[in-house]
Amino acid sequence: MNQDMSIITLIAHASWVVQLVMLLLAVVSVASWAAIFTKVFSLRRIRSANVEFERSFWSGTSLNDLFTAAAQAGKNASPMERIFASGMREYQKLRERRITDAQALLEGARRAMRASYQRELDVAETSLPFLATVGSVSPYIGLFGTVWGIMHAFTGLAALESVTLAAVAPGIAEALVATAIGLFAAIPAVIAYNRFSHDVDRVANTLETFMEEFSNILHRNLGGQTATH
């Protein structure tokens, strides 16, 4: 492709509407890549922190000590640790109120953990709706730019007495660049969305399994101390 048909030249010679579409798609593409890299590191931290807490949980450390550590960790605690702290906090509050009904104790702890679980899941799913939107909408935005560009190109050729392929090609090529940029923005977003959705589902399954296991431990400890498990 010679210099007159280079990508830069095609973009520079495109109509202002097509250029605006290209700029929008370029911004969306940069934003989606930023979201992708952020989500990669975020999910990696979540998995690592959950594994570390689960190792401590099953190491024989008392529930009271784990609860104290979770309270001290605060926002730095893992999602699993925050869910554990929510359930343990509610369980202890109910026992302090001298509620002895096993079903009431377990249901209270489970409700607290379920609410915490939903909050953690909402955080884990951050950016997924944006990536889904980019993946589904970007091709259509690019197609709009292409249609507009082709219309603009043929309108400009209407006044010519004779139209050759050499005269039509630049206008069509300029328009097709918008579709190419739309696909460039959409394809990584779709791939990332599918991958992250799978990873979030795995995290959700891990947290749900932990909640059930912790509920079983609380059930066993109802007749005695809650300090060990």
Q: Which two tokens stand for residue 44?
A: 């990696």
Contact predicate 80/210, CB 8 Å: yes
Quote the CA–CA distance of 148 and 146 in Å, as a whole number. 5
* DSSP state, residue 160: -
As to burial, measured by CB atoms within 10 angstroms (0-12 exposed, 13-18 middle, 19+ buried), residue 14 is: buried
Domain carrying residue 86: 3-221
Q: Is residue 13 in a domain?
A: yes
pLDDT for the residue 75: 79
Q: Give the per-residue pLDDT at 159.
A: 61
228 assigned to some structural domain: no
Is residue 182, in this structure, part of any structural domain at all? yes
Angle 140-145-149 (CA atoms, 0-180°, nearest 5)?
145
- pLDDT tens, N- to C-terminus, the chain (229 residues): 444 556 677 767 677 888 898 899 999 999 999 999 999 999 999 999 999 999 999 988 888 899 999 888 877 889 999 999 999 999 889 888 877 778 888 899 999 999 999 999 999 999 999 999 999 999 999 999 888 888 877 776 666 556 565 656 666 777 788 889 999 999 999 999 999 999 999 999 999 999 999 999 888 877 544 444 5
The answer to the question of residue 32 being in a domain is: yes
The answer to whether the beta carbons of residues 11 and 22 sit under 8 Å apart is: yes
Asked if the structure places residue 226 within a domain, the reply is no
* Number of residues written out for the chain: 229
CA–CA gap between residue 113 and residue 213 (Å, rounded): 12
Residue type present at position 154: F
Residues whose CB falls within 8 Å of the CB of residue 198, separated by 6 or more in sequence, listed in order? none
Report residue 120 as tokens.
């953690």
Could you identify the residue written with the tokens 């209407």?
Answer: 158
What is d(CA 5, CA 218) in angstroms, rounded to the nearest whole number?
71
Identify the pLDDT of residue 160.
58
Alpha-carbon separation of residue 195 from 46, 63, 199 (angstroms)? 15, 35, 6
Structural domains counted in the chain? 1
Residue 212, domain member (yes or no): yes
Q: Find the largest Cα–Cα distance for the chain.
A: 96
Any domain includes 94: yes
Would you state the pLDDT for residue 46? 94
Does residue 159 belong to any structural domain of this protein?
yes
Q: What is the pLDDT of residue 40?
A: 95
Residue whose entry in the numeric block shows the structure tokens 């975020």: 42
